[in-house]
């Protein structure tokens, strides 16, 4: 089959479905309610960090300057003393979800487009629902879920949170695969 233009409808509709269902999963269902724990003595931690004016970004504490420091007894002692953390600092002020919602929808469009591209490269127009579901589902699952596993492997993210996000990704992949199977060009 040639071109993603033939798949514009399943790409768009599957992205819309994923966007809506992800909103239900995250805002209505209690599934992710306890993903992040409260820091003990939260107000003390915030009061201690505020004067440092840490710019938004990702940080590692302690952070060695190079391999030599990483191997030093002083750095080993820092690790032993703790706390050791990966930290994401967000901008101060009200949290606006507009940008995140727009980026999430664009991401869903991109995953659907890649899933359509892979399936379109492997299958002709008129392919069976099952074949389309298979190719699109696998590709969408990789896009929505497998890429998250490295955060638990390398950055210490909770495997519980990653597991829940993997289940979410499976749901999104199934929605995407079903939409493409239904609307695949005949």
pLDDT in tens, 90-147: 999 999 899 999 999 999 999 999 999 999 999 999 999 999 999 999 999 999 999 9
Count of structural domains, the chain: 2
102 and 81 in one domain? no
Note whether residue 37 is domain-resident: no
102 and 83 in one domain? no
User: How does pLDDT run across 34-74, given as a tens digit for each residue?
Assistant: 999 999 999 999 999 999 999 999 999 999 999 999 999 99
Its domain, for residue 58, covers 42-89
27 and 101 in one domain? yes
Note whether residue 27 is domain-resident: yes
19 and 103 in one domain? yes
User: How does pLDDT run across 156-177, given as a tens digit for each residue?
Assistant: 999 999 999 999 999 999 999 9
This prediction's pTM: 0.89
63 and 49 in one domain? yes
99 and 158 in one domain? yes
Note whether residue 150 is domain-resident: yes
C-alpha dist (Å) from residue 110 to 44, 61, 70, 115, 116: 42, 34, 39, 8, 10
Nearest partner of 140 among 163, 164, 162, 119, judged by Cα: 119
Note whether residue 72 is domain-resident: yes
Identify the pLDDT of residue 88: 93
Dist CA 140 CA 134 (whole Å): 10
**Final residue in a domain of this structure, among 89, 108, 126:** 89
Give the distance from CA 118 to its chain's centroid: 21
């Amino acid at each position: 089959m040639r071109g993603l233009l033939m798949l514009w409808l399943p790409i768009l509709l599957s992205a819309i479905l994923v966007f809506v269902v992800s909103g239900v999963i995250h805002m209505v269902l209690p599934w992710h309610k306890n993903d992040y724990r409260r820091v003990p003595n939260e107000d003390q931690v915030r009061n201690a960090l505020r004067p440092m004016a840490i710019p938004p970004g990702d940080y590692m504490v302690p952070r060695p300057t190079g391999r030599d420091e990483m191997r030093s007894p002083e750095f080993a002692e820092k690790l032993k003393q703790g706390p050791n953390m990966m930290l994401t600092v967000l901008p101060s002020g009200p949290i606006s979800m507009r940008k995140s919602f727009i980026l999430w929808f664009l991401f869903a469009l991109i995953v659907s487009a890649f899933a359509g591209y892979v399936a379109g490269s492997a299958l002709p127009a008129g392919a069976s629902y099952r074949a389309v579901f298979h190719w699109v589902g696998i590709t969408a699952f990789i896009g929505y879920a497998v890429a998250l596993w490295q955060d638990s492997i390398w950055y210490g993210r909770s495997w519980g949170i990653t597991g829940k996000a993997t289940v979410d990704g499976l749901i999104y992949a199934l929605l995407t695969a079903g939409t493409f199977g239904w609307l695949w060009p005949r």
